[in-house]
Amino acid sequence: MSSRRSRSSRQTGASMISEDQINDLVLQLHRLLPELGNNHRRSGKVSASKVLQETCTYIRNLNKEVDDLSERLSQLLESTDSAQAALIRSLLM
Amino acid sequence: MASLVSDTEPPTYLNSTPTDLVRRKKRQSASSAAASSRRNNAASATAGDGDSHAPWRSEKQQRSYSANLIQALQQVRLSSPAAETPYPTAQKRGKAFREAADRALAVSARGRTLWSRAILFNRFKLKFRKQKRPRPAAIPAVITRGSSSSSSGRGTKKRRVTVVKLNKKSIPTVNRKVRVLGRLVPGCKKESVPVILEEATDYIQALEMQVRAMKSLAELLSGSGSGSAPPPI
């Protein structure tokens, strides 16, 4: 961990990115997040670490949701026959 | 098959890989659907290229994704009876399903993002190592083309960046959290900070679309295919 941190703080390449660009990206990320408790905190700055924390949680939740849905869908698809699947395919295209 | 390959533009070489696997069963429907969805997608991609939010929410993207998803699911369903275990566990089926859905999602990304390339190459490399495919000549060509294009793509996309400490914000904490985030997004374990943030925004939107599509599909199936059109998302 410490080696990774020191490597990132050392200047490795030609172009350098400023805090503002990072802040912009973090803000963009923050806009995507579900606005649960953020409505009253729409002032200028949002805490970057908090946004990142919420992003990690949100991605984990989404992954879990996709896993549950895919399990449910696989069970559902096992029970339906090919005629219904063909019907669904024709509906979606 | 040859017409499908020649029809694609150079950046969409990734489309040929999963459709190669799907094309075993439904050739005509795959080619027609993929071609029409690709044409639609080309229009939406050129229109929404500047805005990062539009492509994942457009109707055409959803249509193309659902088409790919259905094909991938058919693939999973047809391959599961051929598995060695006569009654695969729910976990295994769910996992295979998830992988097929992820693959469809990555294809819909049309190779513009890191995580989609990582998903496709991981699955492809795993399959390549697991069993001998009946068409070995096509696969090394795709892999070499894929690796060269991905390295060139990454060269244009990823810049060697460092973070300049301008104020008293705790940089190591932010960096650590960004690394954690990078581990969650596939293929971004060793990327720089802004790249990880960019990939994360795209990945979140793609996951949201995947959740929406699967939810509506599940509703449709559990309603036993009543024959009406699916509700607009």
Instruction: Give the tens place of pLDDT for each residue, B117-142.
Output: 777 777 666 666 654 444 444 344 34
Give the mutation candidate from B63, B76, B160 for the A interface (greatest A CB count, under 10 A): B160
pTM: 0.58
Contact B200, A55 (CB under 8 A): yes
Residue A10 lies in a domain: no
Residue A4 lies in a domain: no
Contacts with B185 from chain A: Cβ below 8 Å: 59
Structural domain boundaries enclosing A81: 17-90
Residue A5 lies in a domain: no
Check B214 against A71: CB less than 8 A apart. Answer: no
Residue A34 lies in a domain: yes
Print the SS3 string covering chain B.
CHHHHHHCCHHHHHHHHHHHHHCCCCHHHHHHHHHHHHHHHHHHHHHCCCCCCHHHHCHHHHHHHHHHHHHHHHHHHHHCCCCCCCCCCHHHHHHHHHHHHHHHHHHHCCCCCHHHHHHHHHHHHHHHHHCCCCCCCHHHHHHHHHHHHHHHHHHHHCCCCCECCCCCCCHHHHHHHHHHHHHHCCCCCCCCHHHHHHHHHHHHHHHHHHHHHHHHHHHHHHCCCCCCCCCCC
Residue A2 lies in a domain: no
Contacts with B73 from chain A: Cβ below 8 Å: 73, 77, 85
Model ipTM over 0.85: no
Kindly give the confidence (pLDDT) of every residue in chain A, 93 residues in length, as a single tens digit, with 9 standing for 90 and above.
454 444 444 444 434 667 788 878 888 878 878 776 655 555 556 777 888 888 888 889 989 988 888 888 777 766 666 656 666 666 665
Count of structural domains within chain A = 1
Residue A51 lies in a domain: yes
Contacts with A60 from chain B: Cβ below 8 Å: 184
Residue A1 lies in a domain: no
Residue A40 lies in a domain: yes
